[in-house]
Amino acid sequence: MKVRDVVIFTGKRFTVPQGIQRIDHRATHGWQLRYGGTKLFSDHTPDGSGASAALVQATQELLKRIAKLPAPSRLQREPSENKTSDLPVGISGPIVRQRARSTVRDCSLSVSIPRFGDLPRRRSVYIGTENTYSIERYKLALAKAIELREKAETAYQRAATKAKRAAVRDLKPSKLR
């Protein structure tokens, strides 16, 4: 898991894991957990002497949340404003093309397949040729494209959660000072 050095207002230095932020504002001093919602772990002292204990509590809560919650997904959930079709995120088309040495054009949908830690792939879902294209075939191809995308998103989420949990195995509150 990524960590960074944070120097608080007293000059004391801490190693802080990703997902925890320092809040020093007027009468508020503490560590804010930002993972699966927010929670402030106060120093309970205006001089910052409780910062170390508060960081340990925040880190313990972070570890608990990572163990039970899915990892935050970076996948796009809604279509962009510029998308002109009503197709779901990750599906484009219909794409019409004429292949070399063919007299008939064919039509397909393009599906973006996200892969955690790797570049996404594209899959093509065939609809038909200009002679066989129909609304029924389009609907069947769209259903298949949606299923492909949903399976890929589920696999991506599972891999992201597994990676997040593996990254925190070495992180223990006692290592953070």
Q: What is the mean pLDDT of the chain?
A: 88
Please tell me the predicted confidence (pLDDT) of residue 109. Answer: 94
Tell me which of 40-44, 136-140, 168-172 is least confident: 168-172
Does 60 lie in the same domain as 97?
A: no
Angle, CA of 134, 79 and 88, to the nearest 5°: 30
Task: Give the tens place of pLDDT for each residue, 110-165.
Answer: 999 999 988 999 999 999 998 899 999 999 999 999 999 999 999 999 999 998 88
Residue 15 has pLDDT above 80, yes or no: yes
Does 115 lie in the same domain as 50?
A: no
Please tell me the predicted confidence (pLDDT) of residue 3. Answer: 87
Does 100 lie in the same domain as 52?
A: no
Say how many domains are in the chain.
2
Residue 169 has pLDDT above 90, yes or no: no
Does 54 lie in the same domain as 96?
A: no
Kindly state whether residue 110 falls inside one of the protein's structural domains.
yes
Q: 170 falls in which pLDDT band (50, 70, 90)? A: low
Task: Give the tens place of pLDDT for each residue, 53-67.
Answer: 999 999 999 999 998
List Cα–Cα distances, 162 to 14, 21, 60, 100, 104, in angstroms: 27, 24, 19, 44, 47
Kindly state whether residue 132 falls inside one of the protein's structural domains.
yes
Kindly state whether residue 34 falls inside one of the protein's structural domains.
yes
Predicted TM-score (pTM) of this structure: 0.72
Q: 171 falls in which pLDDT band (50, 70, 90)? A: low
Kindly state whether residue 23 falls inside one of the protein's structural domains.
yes
Does 112 lie in the same domain as 156?
A: yes
Kindly state whether residue 177 falls inside one of the protein's structural domains.
no
Average pLDDT, stretch 24-39? Answer: 90
Long-range contacts (CB closer than 8 Å, 24 or more residues apart) made by 115-121: 115/152, 115/155, 115/156, 115/159, 116/155, 116/156, 116/159, 116/160, 116/163, 117/159, 117/163
Does 107 lie in the same domain as 57?
A: no
Does 151 lie in the same domain as 115?
A: yes
Average pLDDT, stretch 92-103? Answer: 88
Kindly state whether residue 26 falls inside one of the protein's structural domains.
yes
Kindly state whether residue 121 falls inside one of the protein's structural domains.
yes
Range of 135's domain? Answer: 91-165
